[in-house]
Chains A and B, each alone.
Chain A
Amino acid sequence: MINVFTTMISHITLSLFCFNFWCCSRTFLSIIGGVIAGIWGFTGFTGFVFYFVVMLAASFGLAAKAKFSADSYFDSWNRVLLDGILGGLMSFVLFWTFAYDIVHIF
């Protein structure tokens, strides 16, 4: 039981801090998206909606590149759609705050 638990935890942490290329591009996108959201002056809910729109566009792009068949390149649809979203959220918020402050407050 303890082994099952530890393997579960390691899987979860692996998927949160993912060691793969898809995570790299999502991080990069979330940083750029944060800067854009800040410059355009999104506040509150709109900003988060923008973040999820960008993530969806990225997932769509990846799915299109993989010709919409998750089985040939990935082991599950979850990896295409949901991988790296939460990690990117923190970076998005950081750069969003930074850009928003620089452009609108200071």
Chain B
Amino acid sequence: MADDLVLDTAIRNWVLVPLSVVMVLIGVLRYFVSKLIRSSQNPDTKAIKEGQAVIRARNLRSAAHLIPSKSFRSRRIYFTNEENGLLYVPKEEAQKAQAQMFQDPNMAMDMMKKNLSMIIPQTLTFAWVNFFFSGFVAAKIPFPLTPRFRSMLQNGIDLSTVDVSYVSSRSWYFLNLFGLRGFFSLILGEENATDDAQRMMQMSGGGFGFDPSKSLGAEKDSLDIIQHEWALPKMEHRAQDVLKNLAKKL
């Protein structure tokens, strides 16, 4: 009895297809609305300067063995000296910068706008699905799941003998939610990869200036730690070894 229920064609016509169509349309709408709403964010000069200084210091660290000692030391002093080194941040300024970041109204507004544009359509659609399409079996998923998923997938169906593969429309909604991301990336171009990815990327881009003092301090410490060793004197030995190995192989 639990296998092969035959479901009414009307369910397919009036539940599955409209739900998918609605979700696709809402996604397209959200994409255009977010394009319209997005205000051009003027990047913060100070944060960018600090970020670039950190990048320069990192490059210096990784290529330290390629320049002679004196040049390395002079570069290091440029970055880390106490008076006007790029990476040196006095303690009070650090506190002020952090407090400012937290109260910055622009950043808060932008994050709120992004969150809203993601959350509201999802909430509305979920409520709509729950209201209209509950209480019946909507689809059968082709793979079996453990009975623990029953409460999650079959919320409107009160029979416990029905196979867990027969799910309600709420799970069809979730399936669509995750599965249509790929579809959107096909039809809307690459830039709309929904919710989490973009938010995280922008947070990491904006979060770069979020804790400048910590990253600057960390870079300064790691620069101070480095023992400089110039690779040029050893270069002849290295060339010799490489050639020896080659000669052996031949």
Contacts and interface: CB of A to CB of B under 8 A. Distances in A.
Interface in A10-62: 10, 13-14, 16-17, 19-20, 23-24, 27-28, 30-31, 37-38, 42-45, 47-48
A73 to B, nearest CB: 19
A17 to B, nearest CB: 4
A87 B181 contact: yes
A12 B142 CA distance: 30
Nearest to A38: B142
B208 A6 contact: yes
Nearest to B139: A101
B149 interface: no
Given A95-B179, A100-B142, A102-B12, A24 B201 contact: no
A3 B196 contact: no
Interface string A87-100: 11011111111101
B183 A2 contact: no
B178 A94 contact: yes
Contacts of B191: 19
Contacts of B201: 10, 13-14
B143 interface: yes
Contacts of A38: 142
B182 A9 contact: no
Interface residues of B, number: 42
Interface string A70-106: 0000000000000000011011111111101110011
A24 B11 CA distance: 32
Given A2-B215, A7-B204, A43 B142 contact: yes
Interface of B: 5-9, 11-12, 16, 20, 54, 139-144, 172, 175-176, 178-183, 185-186, 190-191, 193, 196-197, 200-201, 203-204, 207-208, 211, 214-215, 218
Given A6-B203, A28-B186, 6 more contacts: A3-B215, A91-B180, A94-B179, A96-B142, A97-B142, A101-B140
Interface of A: 1-3, 6-7, 9-10, 13-14, 16-17, 19-20, 23-24, 27-28, 30-31, 37-38, 42-45, 47-48, 87-88, 90-98, 100-102, 105-106
